[in-house]
Structure 1
Amino acid sequence: MVHLHLSARLSIALVSLVGLASFLWPLLVTPGSGLDDAATAPLILAALLPLFVVVVLAEIARGGFDVKAIAMLGVLSAVGAVLRPLGAGTAGLETVFFLIILAGRVYGPGFGFVLGSTTLLGSALLTGGVGPWLPFQMMAAAWVGLGAGLLPRLRGRAEIGMLVAYGIVAALAYGLLMNFSFWPFAVGLETQLSYEAGAPVVENLQRFVLFTLVTSLGWDIGRAVTNSLAILLVGPAVLSALRRIARRAAFDRAPTPADSA
């Protein structure tokens, strides 16, 4: 596991709080607050990418990521960036999240967080998919890797079963988060699916659930199936390979003050 210093953990927590607010702002605004304007959300998002950079630099500068960890991050990010176009856009199939989950499981929540964001960034640069949706995708994928690193310690079939279940939950949660990112602007006004600024939270949640059922549930299920099958079929071999690399690279050694001097 790649261990992190306290400053890096706090940076991840800060970025996560900003990211959560960026996703859930439709449920938090009130009429006349200034945040119910469609031009406000992109401004919030513009702050996310610099925060991602701060997180990565903090982890590297403080010694949480040594040269070997950075090399592994680069390799896995490149592999994930290549894997994603193989399935993205085809009936909801996603061929990248299982790798983020497995790597986060082996190398820890901090590594999984950074890997999720860099993988989606690399994929966007590779396929020309850079746009206002990218910070949302990076944040959601980062949480997928973070959560995998926080799962309980299990081994054998119990671990694979847990990772399969987590892969399903993470796939559905990713879809819900991405829906939140564009739902207020996706449909016109005065429909049963439309976001209504300032409406009670319960009412807007009902509209959001209906929007999700109508527009994306099938894609989210496809992503969940892809995740679970990939983890079930190749998960044991990938976990074994990643752990073997971790042992040889001595990732399990916690950083010392001398490392960051």
Structure 2
Amino acid sequence: MSRTARVHAVRLGPRSLAALALTSAVGVVAFGWPFLAPPDSRLSAHAQDAPWLFAGLLVLLVAVVAATISESALGPKAVAMLGVLAATGAALRPIGAGTAGIEPMFFLMVLSGRVLGPGFGFVLGSVTMFASALLTGGVGPWLPFQMLSMGWFTMGAGLLPGAAGAAAVQAGPSGWGRLRGRGEPLMLAGYGFVAAFAYGTVMNLAGWPFLGGAASNISFDAGAPVATNLARFVAYCVATSLGWDLGRALCTVVLTLALGPAVLRALRRATRRAAFETAVTFDGPAQ
């Protein structure tokens, strides 16, 4: 049985993987420091400064990741594809903004990461969130956290089993390698549902520690044990963002099931025609 090669718009080499791992590690610390730092640490004492310090560091690290990935294999065709998808995602984000968490851009990120792979997905998610922030005026200390979270969200879709990029994989008589048809949109819808809640939960970590005493029962307590703060954080998520996250998750599921097959076919057709792995050459002047 024939096997077709997977097309990668962005290849993750050793340097790219190292930079991505470093950025993700710093991101985990930046998001999870309330549960990682001891009560008497300087992070807890200077909590109001932490968003700006972490934001500046994350901006630099995300820029390093993007530059490293671009050095590896981000050719002109991939740049064009990245620009089109990022612009489309940025334009979709304001649609329904402020209404029950309806954010159509999430389903496009899931499908794009699925087709174009984890490397492209991480870059696309970060760039799309940055572009949408410029478009909507949402630039602030929370932006690097959004960029990193969306990068993880989109990259995860490219890591799902059975991803075949722009080419249809026939890996064997059965199994994930042949996942197509109705099964693929169902899997992507399930991933989008879970990831939409995960995105909201992770983003809550970026602001929850700085709630202060505005809501004492659900705010971060630097002197409390981890279990207590974890219970407070769960209560904070339920009280402040559960409805919004549910709207985002349901919107992603509905759009993925309704438009997913057509969008997947269009993306795969576009990437086949783009032939990312074919070098671009320019002929000299005719003699």
TM-score (norm 2): 0.85
Alignment match of 1:93 (pick from 94, 98, 102): 102
| CA-CA distance at 1:245 after TM superposition | 1.1
Aligned to 1:22: 30
- Give, in whole Å, the separation in 2 of the partners of 1:87 and 1:7: 39
SS in 1 for 2:182: helix
Q: Do 1:9 and 1:110's aligned partners in 2 also have CA atoms closer than 8 Å?
A: no
For structure 1, which runs of at least 5 residues remain unmatched after alignment? 256-261
| CA-CA distance at 1:190 after TM superposition | 7.3
Paired letter, 1:117: S
- Give, in whole Å, the separation in 1 of the partners of 2:158 and 2:272: 17
Larger Rg: 2
Residues 187, 87 of structure 1: alpha-carbon distance in 2 compared, 3 angstrom cutoff: farther
Q: Do 2:51 and 2:141's aligned partners in 1 also have CA atoms closer than 8 Å?
A: no
Aligned to 1:235: 260
| CA-CA distance at 1:248 after TM superposition | 1.2
Q: Do structure 1's residue 47 and structure 2's residue 72 form an aligned pair?
A: no
Paired letter, 2:89: G
SS in 2 for 1:92: coil
Aligned to 2:150: 141
Aligned to 2:209: 184
Paired letter, 2:80: A
TM-score (norm 1): 0.93
Aligned to 1:60: 70
1:92-120 Cα offsets, whole Å, 9 max, x none, are 11111111111000000011101111101
Alignment match of 1:128 (pick from 127, 130, 137): 137
For structure 2, which runs of at least 5 residues remain unmatched after alignment? 1-7, 163-178, 280-287
Once the two structures are superposed, the pairs formed by residues 184-223 of structure 1 within 5 Å of their partners are 184-188=209-213, 191-223=216-248
Number of aligned positions between the proteins: 253
RMSD over aligned CA atoms reads 1.5
- Give, in whole Å, the separation in 2 of the partners of 1:136 and 1:227: 21
Q: Do 1:187 and 1:193's aligned partners in 2 also have CA atoms closer than 8 Å?
A: no
1:66-91 Cα offsets, whole Å, 9 max, x none, are 11011100110011111101122211
Instruction: Return structure 1 stretches of 4+ with deviation > 2 angstroms.
Output: 1-4
1:148-191 Cα offsets, whole Å, 9 max, x none, are 00000021111111100000011000110111110111251672
Q: Do 1:168 and 1:228's aligned partners in 2 also have CA atoms closer than 8 Å?
A: yes
- Give, in whole Å, the separation in 1 of the partners of 2:57 and 2:117: 26
Task: Indicate the percent of aligned positions where both proteins have the same amino acid.
Answer: 54
User: Greater shift after overlay, 154-163 or 106-115?
Assistant: 154-163
Aligned to 1:161: 186
